[in-house]
Amino acid sequence: MGDFSNLVMLRLDRALGGPSNGYLSMSASRLRFYERSPGHQHLSDSDRYLLKRPMPSKRVVIIGTGTVGQEHMYVAHLLGKMVVHGIYDTEPDSMDAAERRYRSFSEQTLVRYKSLEEACNDPEADALIICTPNHTHFEVLNIAMESGKPILLEKPLATTLSDAAAIVEASETYSSFIQVGLQYRYKAQYVEALHEVKMRLSLGDIKTISMSEYRPPFLDKVKQWNKFNEQSGGTLVEKCCHYFDLINIISESTPVRVYASGGQSVNFLDFKHKGLAADIDDHAFVIVDYKNGLRANFSLNMFCHDFTEEMVIVGDKGSLRSIERVSADNDDSPEAIVAIELGDPIGSRRIEASYPCEIRNSGHQGATFFEHVAFFDQLTGKQVQSATPLQGLWAMIVAAAAQNSILTRQVVDISSFMSDNNLSKYLE
């Protein structure tokens, strides 16, 4: 699954333009608030020094211009190091909407491609960001890889383990790199948690991990693909691979058993699309045992009104609890708290974990922004800790095993499960 013992967390100042040694330099920092404020827009480029905007050095193409694709377009603009060169989608309405939104914050002219092949092979583009529906990832990626360009592929890796494994194999000989969009590892509270666990070692040896998400149902998508297991991969693959990725990172071990209980109780019970009834699960409880003795659980409920995420990590020296709440009704800032309890006031503390509002509000509470930082760094030859295809596969293995357990109502032995799916070579 990879060695995470030397995990290096991103520093916020680095993304803002400062040095990576943990300290800000005024000469290098971007004064983003003033740079973008209406009162300073009369300045010509020649009159901008402290407020000088960076010149993007990389051009990216966005493939898939729905909600997630538009988020990537905005974040790329906000980061300022990459420019969106062009867009492609099989749905003209999606491209129209994306272009209208892009014009609201950028003067950049977008190339609109007529085919996927044209979008992938534009010699003017440096990299590709794939944000198409889950069930298209494998086919789209196969065409995209013919370009030899760096690729950011949105999660999940694929909808089936066989397709995911094929992507991992192809990535091992690919002339460039593939980054998987498991960006929750960049959420502020999880960055803090990983720093405590991996760098400060404040909790000691980790024994248990508990995560949960309470949220509203899946939103509408073009052709409603996210209401069906076959097109999405199932709820635990589509939505929850983020959490299994985080649990895998913290565990630094291989899962050996998975047991899950879940189903469809409230959402989309009367929903049909082209005569097909929705079959997507809306709640689940998952237990995962790891080879090193660590135990984890994950709870999901998708018929809540607001969003709440929680992580509780307990080691032999202390515990950590992070909670994030986001209201679906108003524009209040999301509240993310990390509390470290060591049984002694010395070292115990409570942290408000958040990014500056402009970054936080750009998407997924700022995680997408730092995902772009990592993508740009890889484009410029730097070593990063973004999700690899292999890590994307392991997140899918846990999720798919949990989906299987819900279906069969049996404990899934991971060794047997991987053998049945021709994945035994990935076992440690």
**Residue range 285-322, pLDDT digits in tens:** 999 999 999 999 999 999 999 999 999 999 999 999 99
CB 315 within 8 A of CB 204: yes
* Residue 369, domain member (yes or no): no
Q: What is the pTM of this model?
A: 0.91
DSSP string, 13-51: HHHTTS-TTS---TTTS--HHHHHSGGGTT--GGG-STT
Length of the chain, please? 428
Instruction: Tell me how many degrees the CA angle 375-378-424 measures, rounded to the nearest 5.
Output: 90
The per-residue pLDDT for 84 is 98
* Residue 372, domain member (yes or no): no
Mark whether 162 and 262 lie in a shared domain: no
The terminus-to-terminus CA distance of the chain in angstroms comes to: 8
Mark whether 246 and 351 lie in a shared domain: yes
**CATH code (residue 115):** 3.40.50.720
Is the per-residue pLDDT at 3 higher than 80? Answer: no
Mark whether 179 and 198 lie in a shared domain: no
Overall average pLDDT of the 225-249 stretch: 97
Mark whether 56 and 189 lie in a shared domain: no
Among the residue ranges 54-58, 81-85, 118-122, the one predicted with the least confidence is: 54-58
* Residue 115 DSSP class: S
Q: Which of 183, 211, 244 marks a domain boundary? A: 183
Mark whether 53 and 131 lie in a shared domain: yes
Q: Looking at 173-318, which runs of residues are DSSP E strands?
A: 178-181, 206-214, 255-263, 272-273, 276-277, 283-290, 295-301, 307-315
Mark whether 223 and 173 lie in a shared domain: no
**Residue range 171-181, pLDDT digits in tens:** 999 999 999 99
Instruction: Please report which helix (H) or strand (E) contains residue 59, including its range.
Output: strand 58-63
Mark whether 162 and 203 lie in a shared domain: no
Mark whether 163 and 224 lie in a shared domain: no
Q: Which of 126, 151, 183 marks a domain boundary? A: 183
CA atoms within 13 A on the CB side of 324: 25
Overall average pLDDT of the 48-65 stretch: 91
Mark whether 95 and 199 lie in a shared domain: no
Q: Which of 166, 183, 200 marks a domain boundary? A: 183
Mark whether 282 and 326 lie in a shared domain: yes
* Residue 82, domain member (yes or no): yes
Overall average pLDDT of the 30-54 stretch: 83
**CATH code (residue 248):** 3.30.360.10
Exposure class string for 407-424: b at 16+ Cβ within 10 A, else e: eeeeebebeebbeebebe
Structure tokens belonging to residue 127: 């990299």
Mark whether 228 and 264 lie in a shared domain: yes
Mark whether 68 and 197 lie in a shared domain: no
Alpha-carbon distance of 349 to 363, in angstroms, equals 28
**Residue range 4-40, pLDDT digits in tens:** 333 334 333 333 333 333 322 333 467 777 787 888 8
Residue range of the domain that includes 403: 185-363+389-426
The per-residue pLDDT for 38 is 84
